[in-house]
Amino acid sequence: MIETAVRTTRLVSRPRPVLGALKVTVLSGGPSAEREVSLGSGRAVAAALRSMGHDVELADIGPADLSALDRPVDVIFIALHGTFGEDGQLQRILEKRGLTFCGSDSAASARAMDKVVAKRYFAEAGVPTPRCDVVRRSRIRDIAAAWRPPVVVKPVSQGSSIDCHVVGQGCELALRLHELVDKYGSCLIEDYIDGPELTVGILGDRPLPVCEIRTPRAFYDYQAKYTDDRTQYLFEEIGLPAACLETVAAQSLAAHRALGCRDFSRVDWRVDARTNQPYCLEVNTIPGFTDHSLLPKAAARAGLDFGELGQEIIRLALSR
């Protein structure tokens, strides 16, 4: 049954028109805390698209220097993560200039980046998500008293699990809340879901194979993503019922659509180990694009190598 669910997301038999050589600008870098990850994604995407015969310029872009947008191109591939590149700001600039770019538009990007707003859209679409609340300075004492650990505290708008913490002791909760509110002005607190962590890539209008992430750390944090070689990514030996995996795949597409995303995304989940109930954590509109990132891994599982994945994303952008 699990193997059947995986086969439904394979793309190798799906006909795709061959693109001629295109002029492509890959945008990376940016001003966010995820800058180094973004630079790596940009290099990998540029290399993959060049392998498919495209004329690619790799540019490090930021709010103070938009000169990379002056080059006449057929399409722009955004590989920026976090603030400016993933929150709708860059997308809005490209839209105003009438430039064709891959990925979600400015409105969907802004919705997905704000975890509180995204959760509202999930709820309206019937996609389960952990209970949460927004924490501001005036509410820290009351929230610390009302919420029982374990809980997750994290920024409202941040990626790569930066400043995301699992708090297991009540005495630590107020301290963590103060730290994040001091840094960001507000933060998010939500129930910690104890169980497997899953992620699902979306390509076009189809979910890619479900991937389970196993890490010896409390959750899939920044270190687990980028520095800990003990992290495992499993597509076959997932210890969950087939019905649960099918639900996660279908609900991932529902979450993607609820936010108005397009072309591609990656949807992150945790599953309650006691009940097998999945909970959607967030939708990443510009997930990592290095050769070890989750979206390329899922695409490879579905029959697309890195170059073909980039080619398909460009095709989707040009088909609008």
Q: Which residues are catalytic?
A: 34, 160, 226, 266, 268, 282, 284, 288
215 by Cβ neighbours in 10 Å (0-12 / 13-18 / 19+) ranks as middle
- Asked whether the beta carbons of 75 and 102 are under 8 A apart, the reply is yes
- Asked whether the beta carbons of 200 and 269 are under 8 A apart, the reply is yes
Both structure tokens of 299: 């695409």
Both structure tokens of 99: 């430039």
Q: Prior bond to 150 cis, omega within 30?
A: yes
Helix/strand number for the chain, H first, E second: 11, 13
Residue 14 and residue 206: Cα distance in Å, rounded?
12
Residue 290 and residue 296: Cα distance in Å, rounded?
8
Instruction: Specify the residue for token string 């909760």.
Output: 173
- 130 C-beta neighbours (distance < 10 Å), count: 18
Residue 213 and residue 199: Cα distance in Å, rounded?
8
- 205 C-beta neighbours (distance < 10 Å), count: 11
Residue 224 and residue 316: Cα distance in Å, rounded?
31
The 3-state DSSP class for residue 101 equals strand
